[in-house]
Structure 1
Amino acid sequence: MKNITVIGSGTMGNGIAHTFAQHGFEVSLVDIDTGALSNAIQTITNNLDRQVKKGIIDDYVKTTTLDRIKTFTDLQQGAAGADLVIEAATENHEIKLKLFKQLSNICSDDVILASNTSSISITQIAAVTKNPGNVIGMHFMNPVPVMKLVEVIRGYATTNEVTNVIMQLAKTLEKDPVEVNDYPGFVANRILMPMINEAIYTLYEGVAGVEEIDTVMKLGMAHPMGPLQLADFIGLDVCLAILKVLHDGFGNQKYAPCPLLVNMVTAGHRGVKSGSGFYKYTAGSKEHVVADKFIRK
């Protein structure tokens, strides 16, 4: 396996492209937006510069990594010759099904089609393809170049051979793959999202403020960041989408998104990516300034 196509140049897509290229793979990064592709290459360059500054890599590795990444706006051109395609598009059911149906027609039957989805059923995605046995979930964690975990999700039809190939591939990337079965939210988000949702309810009901809730979880539970800051980092729109998948999939009220989360996303407060969420984020600064108090019931 040598040629990797990554679809989607956002936070996860450019992180996946960076990681594969740094480990010697030829990467085609595909996005319909040329501006997004330019931003992705700049982000990868900045992250490589950070690695150089920390002594993790040298300038030669930086240069060769960037040389291995080619960008495309045409899906057919970008997926041509791919041994593996990894979809990292928006966490939207319809978009993913449409993409995989297209990929199934573009790619040869032996190409493995993987999704970086954090919650959407791999079995449903595979069902729209010609070869469901070659469809699998490869859920990386953010930031991809740093985080070691990869959830490898087997759909109902995913073959043992494909699973073994992806497990070994993740190890080649110096990641720690964990095989899980295809149920809503898989493992990571089935556990994480209810915790984040409960933290939002705790704020919504006036039990404590943003900083207080995060401080309790950081100091009391040894979490590296609090659940509200983590929600901002993930993206509040992504959290909401995952909770909807969990709620629809299990039909259990405990997964119902908090009204405060729904209202914040509707109002455009999506976390770090929009500049405001549970915290406000100033350009070029790592400091987090607590946002104005939220209206609670």
Structure 2
Amino acid sequence: MIFKSTFYKFLFAALVLIIAAQSKSYAGGGFPVRPGRLTLSPSVSYFFANKQWDSHSVKGPFPDNGRFSSLSTSLYAEYGLSRRFTLSALMPYAYNTYKDNTGDYKDSGFGDAEIGIRYYLANINYKYYFSLQATAIIPMYTNLALGYNQKGAELRLAFAGSGHLFGKNSYFILENGVREYFGYESVFQDRYNATYGITLDKKFREQLSVSVGGFYVSSNNKAFSPNPNTSKNFAFNQVSLSYGHSFSKKVAMFLTGGTFITGRNTGAGSSITASLNYHIDTK
């Protein structure tokens, strides 16, 4: 019974890490931000899973009719320092619940704060942009059910561009980031994402986009351990569809639905996210 309870808590903690990883629903990507422009993007996301992928990527239900849900919020901010540099920050908060036939397990709190600086390496005819971002990860908690509680760093390369498809304005963003958490048992992460979107009207107020992305996480500890402190080896891929509406040049809203399509050592679930982008020009 003690192992059973600990095992459920492990599943809960592992899923929390995934939710924190996918909380970045804000727009941004590899396109330049105007110097002096501040972008604020609050978002709220709901994730639900009642199945899991084991260490062999075999999908099945949680034990004892288990089910996991997470309601998370975040605030993302980005400021254009110059034509080449932007500064960004992210602060997430999550409320997570794991329920089964034996009881409920709940945790809530802030996650990993992120502070980054992006440099635009080059552009091609001001249509295609290459950028590199360095990010510092700072844990805002001590509860291991909310993350690794380790400082980390990330380097992310992005390629973004715009064009036309079937007479519609379109854009794409390709990103890949490698992240390392430092500690007794360091954790390596590879986060990747590809997004393609089109505008639906001539006034650029409506847009649709589809994304394919995922996570690959590894460490020296390869075991599927019941100890949350050592749950540092999993992977997943997901697809998502997003609708965006611009109320004005300064305010836009995004609704996104996504689902996991493959995984290893992780939950199999779906999410829905709502976010708001607000631009403030300070110059």
Greater RCO (CA < 8 Å, at least 6 residues apart): 2
Structure 1-normalised TM-score? 0.25
In proportion to residue count, which structure has more strand? 2
Structure 2-normalised TM-score? 0.26
